[in-house]
Every structure is written in C-alpha cells, then in structure tokens.
C-alpha cells in the first residue's frame, strides 16, 4: 500500500535515462483457475520491458508494483514528462542495470492500467465486470505473471523484486515457483497483514462503498464514486508517511496564513491530502481499489508456507525502513526468521529513513548499494564453500 509519487520524482540513483518506452499487452485464453475456485479468461496483462534478454535467458528480472502502481516502471511514455514509478532504480548504470539485465514489469490482474480487472469488458455480457469480477489473490496475480514469463520463454528469473504489495508478489513467486526464481528482493512488506493493516483497508473500502455513486460497483455508465475514492486515498496517504516526514513537510503551517474558521483546507496538510485524493480519482478505478486491498488482506505466507519444501536455493535480500509504521521492520524480520529456519540464504537490512512507507520509492541511496551488489553476486554466481550464495 504505497504512494506512487509521480509528482515528486525521486533523485536519480546515478545512471542514464531509458528514454521513450512503450507498454505492451499479452492476452492468453486461460482460463485461470483462481484460488476462490472461480474461472477467469481470457486474461490480458499490460507489461513493459527494458534492456535485452541474453542468449542464455539468464538475466531476466521481474519488478513487481505496489497497490496503485502499473507496468510503467521506468523511462518515459511519448508525450509525457513524468517517468515511471521506479525510474531512479531502473535503467543504464542504475541498480537494475539495463545494460546488464532484462527488466520486466507487468500490471496485476484486478488492476485498471491495461490488465484484466473489474473495469474490463466481460465477454459474455459485453459490459464491464464491476463486482461480478471474481475475487483475486496475490497468488492469482503471480499465476497470471507466470503465463507472461512463459510467453517470454524464460525458464528461470534472475530475480523478483518489489516493495509493499510488490514485495508480497516476490514472496509469492518463491512460494509458488521456487525452481523458477534465483533470487528475491522483498522490500517494506510482510508475510501477512496484521489486524491493524486489515482495519485500515476496511475503512478504505467502506469509504468507497458508502458513496452513493458507487451503486454496488455498477457505475461505469454514470461515473465512479469520486468522493469515496478520494477519501480512501487520503486515508492511504496518511499511512504512507511517517510522523516526522509530515512534520518536516507540513508542520502546522496554514495555507493562507490565517484560520478560516470553516471546514475548508486551512492547514497545508489538509490541502495536500485533498489534492492527492482529487488527482487519484482521475487515474484509478474504485472497484480495482476494493479488489486489490482485499487481495492484500487475504495474503498469508506465515507458518512456514513461504518455503514449504526442502532444498530451495533462492537467495533473499530483505529490506525495511526504520520509520515505516505501515509495514514495520518486525514484519520483515519475521520473513528472515522463517527463511533462516528453512536454512535459506537471506540477508536483511533495516535502512534509516524519515519517509515512512514511501521510503522504498524515494529513499534510494541505501537501496542502490545493497541491490546493485546483491544482483551482481547473484548474476555472477559467487558462492561460499558450501555451494550456497552469500
């Protein structure tokens, strides 16, 4: 659950720009047998690729986006000035170095950025699915991605990486297809949601469904529930930041140097939240927000389910941030404990940051060094005396 800060572009982590990129679409008949027992098909995935796949097909990295992200992770779309959501990390000379690696990013099923989701047309009716769309899980998202990776003829990924919900997908890739993943970088994520995290998501969902314009999810001809979705995003943004980052960014500053003594946006923080909410409704579908937050709450790889068998040789780099209270460090530490109990090679680092949960998108210096070295050692296959990657 993250803020895609497209108007607050993070400083570059070195390297060069990818330039103009294009989003592609891959459609397969399926059908996908979902965890719920329902069937979904045909399925379309929007995706982008950066760099070149080598002859051995050993340099492919799958980058996985967070809740409101999309396939546009890096570079520029023609005619646009704002780069992809992880542009500072992906490109020539950057941590996910496209001079060396072939990087893939796809939009998840259930989303609204080109992949099959509630706003897509249901073949049988010729109308948008709405809430007739089947419930999906993180495992279902990964199953669809596996079809994309099969289409690209890649047997084993060098790495799966992502923050927040992207980190959950990275974990699920290892749980579902350990033989197809050489390494994983889950960032600012968890094995399962706590009751508090589920509670935040429920308030977000209720704010959408309480808007009369939601109409039970059947709003595609009348216009989506903008007020409810805007409030939902405002709630989310509060959880993305830390107390310190909010103090540094806003404090108690007034927008017009005086109190209005009304219910307007007197304080800068109020204006910021309203601005974020108003912008979000222009680019995201309310039903997708409902479905994806529910998928986050369903996710659970605790109790040994992350590594179910023996002999898993996937390497892990697990990262968290000190000021992240939405996905606090103890949840990342629990991932590492589970891996260590299964004797899986795992490195963990808690990075200093005041950005809160947003840190995985904007706090780049520490991530840059760790990810660059981790990927390099994995790619070159450097091992210790026991045959395990360091």
What is the set of active-site residues? 164, 324, 357
Number of C-beta neighbours around residue 33 at 10 A: 13
On whether the CB atoms of residues 100 and 36 are closer than 8 A, the answer is no
Residues written for the chain: 390
Select from 160, 170, 146 the least CA-distant residue to 60.
160
Q: How many C-beta neighbours within 10 Å does residue 332 have?
A: 25
Burial of 78 (0-12, 13-18, 19+ CB in 10 A): exposed
**Residues whose CB is less than 8 angstroms from the CB of residue 25 and which lie 6 or more positions away in sequence, other chains included:** 44, 45, 46, 47, 114
By the 10 Å C-beta count (0-12 exposed, 13-18 middle, 19+ buried), 260 is classed as exposed
Residue 160: φ, ψ to 5°: -120, 135
């Amino acid at each position: 659950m993250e803020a895609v800060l497209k108007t607050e572009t993070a400083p570059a982590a070195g390297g060069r720009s990818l330039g103009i990129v294009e989003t592609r679409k891959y459609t397969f008949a399926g059908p996908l047998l979902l965890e719920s027992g329902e069937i979904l098909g045909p399925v379309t995935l929007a995706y982008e690729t950066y760099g070149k796949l080598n002859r051995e097909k050993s340099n492919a990295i799958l980058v996985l986006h967070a809740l409101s992200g999309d396939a546009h992770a890096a570079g520029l779309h023609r005619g646009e000035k704002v780069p992809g959501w992880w542009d500072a990390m992906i490109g020539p000379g950057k941590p996910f170095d496209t001079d060396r690696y072939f990087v893939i990013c796809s939009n998840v099923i259930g989303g609204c950025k080109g992949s099959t989701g509630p706003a897509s047309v249901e073949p049988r009716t010729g109308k948008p699915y709405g809430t007739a769309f089947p419930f999906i899980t993180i495992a279902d998202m990964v199953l669809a991605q596996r079809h994309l990776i099969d289409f690209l003829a890649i047997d084993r990924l060098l790495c799966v990486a992502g923050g927040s919900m992207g980190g959950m997908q990275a974990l699920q890739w290892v749980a579902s297809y350990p033989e197809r993943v050489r390494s994983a970088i889950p960032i600012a994520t968890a094995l399962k949601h706590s009751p508090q995290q589920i509670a935040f998501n429920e308030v977000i969902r209720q704010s959408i469904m309480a808007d009369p314009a939601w109409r039970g999810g059947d709003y595609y001809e009348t216009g989506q529930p903008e007020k409810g979705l805007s409030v939902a995003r405002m709630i989310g943004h509060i959880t993305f930041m830390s107390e310190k980052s909010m103090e540094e960014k806003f404090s108690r500053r007034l927008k017009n140097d005086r109190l209005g003594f009304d219910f307007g946006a007197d304080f800068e923080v109020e204006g910021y939240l309203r601005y974020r909410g108003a912008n979000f409704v222009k680019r995201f579908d309310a039903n997708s927000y409902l479905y994806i937050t529910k998928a986050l709450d369903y996710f659970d790889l605790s109790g040994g389910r992350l590594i179910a068998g023996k002999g898993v040789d996937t390497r892990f780099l697990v990262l968290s941030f000190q000021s992240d209270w939405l996905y606090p460090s103890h949840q990342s530490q629990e991932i590492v404990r589970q891996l260590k109990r299964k004797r899986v090679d795992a490195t963990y680092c808690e990075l200093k940051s005041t950005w809160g949960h947003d840190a995985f998108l904007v706090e780049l210096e520490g991530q840059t060094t760790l990810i660059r070295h981790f990927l390099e050692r994995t790619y070159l296959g450097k091992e210790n005396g026991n045959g395990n990657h360091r």
